[in-house]
Structure 1
C-alpha cells in the first residue's frame, strides 16, 4: 500500500500532490454553470446546481458527522442523483467512496461495511434490510443517511437543505491517497477492496477520453445503463471531466424501449454497457423506430462478445462499438479495440476474438508460472503494469503478495499477444465466470450450497448462455443417505445469495470426478458431464 499519506494539515511534497478528483466537477461548474449536467426522469440539474449539492453534502458529512480525510463511506443504492453526489462529496473531503453492488444481500453488504471499516453509510430507502444488517454489526457505521423516505437514519435531503450554500474546498490529496474502494472477489469468494487512488484515477479519466471516446466535449451526452458502483461510475468521471451531460434511466429495470427513447430525446453520443445488454438493445424492436444517429461510441466490456452479436450490432448501429478489456483493479485500463477496428463482415486474415491492443501508457506481459516473459503467440498469464494499476487490496497483505510479482499485476487471466501486440484471452487461471457483465466466483456459491445438510459435494461451473454470455450450473453429490432436489436448494439459497449469483440449473450425480490427488477439478467435472451428455441444453 506504500507509505502513509500526510495528514490534511501537512504540506504535500510537490512530487506527490495531485489534483483532487472532485476538481473535475469544480472545473465544469465554472465553465458550464448553467448548462444541464445531469438529467433523470423529469428532473435535471445544472453544473452549478450539482456542484452546490455536492458541497452541501460534503459540509454535512464533515461538520455534522465528523468525516475527515481517509474515512470510508459505504453507499448502498441504485442509480440516482444522490449516489452520484455522494461520490464527489467523498472525493471533495479526501474521504473514500465505498459503493456496493445494490443487488447484493444484506449479509453481503454488512460484510463490506465491516471489511472497509466504514465510518458511515448512505443507504437508499429501498434497502431497509441492508441498513439493519449494517446497524447490527459489532462495530456498526457511526451514522447513517437515508435517500428517500425511510425508517432509518437521517434524511440525505435534509442534510443537503441545511448546508446548501456552504462552500467546501477540495481537500489536498497525494497521488497515492485512496478515493474509491472498488470491491472485487478472489478465488476464495470473499470480496476484496481494491484501493483506487486520486492519482491513478486521474490517469484513467485521461486515458478513457484518449483511447475510448476521443473528441468528447461539453456538446456530448452520455446515457448510464449500468450501476454507477462499478464501470459505469468510472465512465461517468470522464463525462464530468469533459463537461458532457449525463442521463440516468428513470426505470429501475432494464427497459430497451426507454433507453432508445432517451437516446433519441437527449441526442446521446456515448454509453457504457456489457455485451449481453448491447445484444438485447440491438435485438429489441424499439431500435428500428428510434433515431440513434447521434451515437458515436457504445463502449462494451466485462465479457467477450460473440462474433455474430458484433456483426448484428454493427449492422443496426453502424461503426460505433468500442471494446475494452480490464479488471476492477486496473479500472478497465488494459486494452482497447476501437470502433474502426470492428469489422462488419468476416474476411480472410482478419483478427477474430481479439480484445484489442494495449491502452496508452499501459504495458502487457504474457508470463509463465515463474514470471518469465513469453514470446508472441505463446499462451500464459496476462500481467500488466502502468499508471492505471491499483494501489493494492485494503488490509490484505496475503492477497497483495499473490497479485503482484516483479512490479507486474497478475490478472489471473490467460492469453497471448500476436506479433502486432493484439491480445487474445484464452481462459482463466481461476474458475471465475462472467454472467451479464458480473464476475461470479464459484467458491462463494459452493460454500453456501454445502451448508445444506443434504449436499455432500458440489462444483459450480460457468457454461455458455445465449442471454447472459455465461450462466452457472451447480453439480451436486447428495450427502450419504440424503435426497435433495433443485427446488429445495433454490429455496434454501433464497436470501443467502444474490439473485444474479444463483445457478441457473442444478445437476445431481452419484460421484464427483476427482484428480489423482483426490481434488475436485472443474476440468474433470466438465469433461465428465460432456461425456454423459448432461451439458446439452443446460441453460436453454
Structure 2
C-alpha cells in the first residue's frame, strides 16, 4: 500500500529503550468496553428495533467470525454499499475487529461509481444492502478479486447478513493486534476535482480523533446521552457515531433514508437526544421547519455542524430557535474533522462589536494550523493564503496515489486546498476553496464574501455564486438563488441591493432564480454540481452581457 508516510518498522527512543512496534488499541475494543461496562444499556435504536451493548458486541463477534471463516484477513479491504442501518454500522466494528479495512461508499452513488471504488480500494469482499444488486454486478466486474459478497436482507447475490450472524452467535473472536499506522478505514473523498481518492485512516490516528472530538466538540459526554443520525454513516456521521460508542452513547437512526424534519424532532423528544452531527443545509432545514416548535428539544446540548461554514443569517436563525447549542468544526476527511472548533459559547444570535462573524473557530487540541503562501511560507495575520495543518489527526496519505500525496503534503504540512486567513488571536476565517476563487478584470473574487451579503436580503433563502468565462473580463460571477416561499425578487433588484455592500467588480453579472439548488448525498451544495446544472441548462456557454462599471 502506497501512502504518504510509511509505517516505521522500529524506533529507538532516547534512553536506550528499544521498541519493535507501535502497538495501539484496536478501535473495535470501544464496543467491547461498552458491552462490559453497560451490557443492558440501549446501544442502538432503529425504528421499533433496539439493541443493548451486549447484544451488539455479540453480533459483531459473530460477523467477524464469519468473515474470518471466509478467508478475510488483516489488511483486506471490505467494500460496504448500504443505506444507514444496524448492519451497516456493525460492519465497521466487525471489519476493525479482524484488522481489515472498512471501505464504505455513499449509498446514492451509481453502480459504475461504486465499481470504481471497488477497484481503486483493492476490495476482496463486499457487504451490500439488498436494494443494490446492480452495484454488486458492477463491482465484481470491475474488481474480480471480490470473492465474498454478503447481503443485508434477503437477496440473490449473497447470503443474508442477519442469518449468518444468527448461525454464529456465541462465537468469540480475538481482537486483531494493530499498530498505530495500520489502516482501518478508506475514507473516499467527494471528488470535487477528478475521481475520488481513498484517504487512509489508521487505528492510531483515529484514536486521537475520537479523543479530540470528545474534548473539543462534546465535552462531558456519557452513557446518559443519545445521538441522532441525520446523515450517511459512510463519512462524517460515521466518525461521529464511532465517537459515541467510545462513551456508551446510544445511537438513534431516522426510520428511513428520506430526511424528514418532523420525524427528526419527534425522535429528539422521544429519546431525549443530546447531540447530533449535521451539515449547515440540514441544520437550516431542521430549524426552519414548523415542527421545530411542536416538539421538545430542550435535551439538546450539542448540534454539531461541519462540511461547510454556515451562513451568518442561517446561524442567527438557528440560535434563536435552539439556543446556544451550535458547535462548528472545520476539517476535511483527510484530517477527519480535526482542524478548528467554534464552541457554543462563541456562537451569538446577535451581531455586536465582540462577535467574530464568519470565523470557523480556533485550532483543535493538539493541532497546528498555518496560513501559507504558494511558497509554503507563513503569511501575516489577516493575509489570505492556503489553510495548512499538521498534527496527529492528519491521515496516512492517499492509498496507491503517490501523485496526490506529493501535491497534498509540503514540508510535513497537509494542504487543505481551502483559502482563508487568521486573526491576531488565532481564529481562522475560510474565504473559500482555492478552486472557487475566480479572477475578474485582474482582481481576485472570493464568492463566499458576496454570498454572505446576498443572504442578508430577506427574500433569499439560498445562494451559490461561481465564476464563468467572459470575453471582456476573463471571468464574471453568476449567482443562483432560491427564494423564500412567497417571496419575489428580480436580478436588477438584487444587484441594486448589493451595490455599495461589495465592490463593483465583485457584483454578479447574471442572477438566476431556481426552485432548488443541487445537493450532494451529504446535503451539501457543491459548486461543481451547480456548475454542471448551469451547463446542462445552457446558461454558461453564452457569455453574459457586461454591466456598466
| Structure 1 residues 98 and 156, CA gap change in structure 2 (3 angstroms) | same
In the alignment, structure 1 residue 338 sits paired with structure 2 residue 323: no
Name 1:56's counterpart in structure 2: 62
Correspondence list, 1:159-174, <5 A: 159-174=164-179
- Does residue 531 (structure 1) correspond to residue 536 (structure 2)? The answer is no
Partner of 1:158: 163
Counterpart check, 1:46 vs 2:52: yes
Does the CA-based 8 Å contact 1:368-1:380 persist in structure 2? Answer: yes
Does structure 2 conserve the Cα–Cα contact (< 8 Å) formed by 1:187 and 1:430? no
Residue 429 of structure 2 aligns to a residue in which SS? Answer: strand
Deviation at 1:192, TM superposition (A): 0.4
1:90 alignment partner in structure 2: 95
Relative to the length of structure 2, the TM-score reads 0.80
Q: How does 1:416-431 map to 2 (within 5 A)?
A: 416-431=421-436
Pairwise CA distance, 1:3: 3.8
Find the counterpart in structure 1 of residue 505 from structure 2.
Answer: none
Q: Distance in 1 between matches of 2:539 and 2:253?
A: 46
Q: 2:30 aligns with which of 24, 41, 49?
A: 24
Matched, 1:175 2:170: no
How far does residue 154 in structure 1 lie from its aligned partner after superposition? 1.8
In 2, are the aligned partners of 1:17 and 1:173 still within 8 Å (CA)? yes
Structure 1 position 186, deviation (Å): 4.9
Query: Is the 2:122–2:143 Cα contact (8 Å) retained in structure 1?
Result: no
The answer (yes or no) to whether the contact 2:123–2:143 under 8 Å persists in 1 is no
User: What are the equivalent positions in structure 2 for 1:249-328 lying under 5 Å apart?
Assistant: 249-328=254-333
Separation in 1, partners of 2:533, 2:34: 45
- CA change 1:370–1:255 in 2 (3 A) is same
Q: Does 1:396 align with 2:426?
A: no
The answer on whether the counterparts of 1:34 and 1:46 sit within 8 Å (CA) in structure 2 is: yes
Q: State TM-score, norm by structure 1.
A: 0.81
Where 2:128 maps in the other structure, the secondary structure is strand
Q: Distance in 1 between matches of 2:311 and 2:192?
A: 26
Give the distance between the partners of 2:236 and 2:296, measured in 1 at CA. Answer: 26
What SS does the aligned partner of 2:142 have? coil
SS at match of 1:246: strand
| More displaced stretch, 143-152 vs 355-364 | 143-152
What secondary structure sits across from 1:508 in the alignment? coil
Indicate the SS of the match to 1:114. Answer: helix
Deviations 1:256-283 (A, max 9, x none): 0100000000000000000111111011
* Count of matched residue positions in the alignment of Structure 1 and Structure 2: 461
Residue equivalent to 2:248? 243
Query: Structure 1 residues 261, 15: CA separation in 2 closer, same or farther (over 3 Å shift)?
Result: same
Aligned equivalent of 2:236: 231
Q: Which residue of 2 aligns with 1:362?
A: 367
Q: 1:214-268 deviations in whole A, cap 9, x for unaligned?
A: 0000000000000000000000011100111110111220000100000000000
CA contact (8 A) 2:385 2:419 kept: yes
Q: Say if 1:427 and 1:138 are closer, same or farther in 2 by CA, change over 3 A.
A: closer
Asked if the contact 1:131–1:152 (Cα under 8 Å) also holds between the matched residues in 2, the reply is: yes
Partners of 2:20 and 2:271 in 1: CA distance? 42
Q: What residue in structure 2 maps to residue 537 of structure 1?
A: none
Judging changes above 3 Å, is the alpha-carbon distance between structure 1 residues 249 and 529 closer, same or farther for their aligned structure 2 residues? same
Q: For each residue in 1:82-136, what CA deviation from the matched residue of structure 2 results, as whole angstroms up to 9, or x when unmatched?
A: 0011000000011000000111110000000000000100000111111111122
Structure 1, 135-144 or 311-320: larger mean CA deviation:
135-144
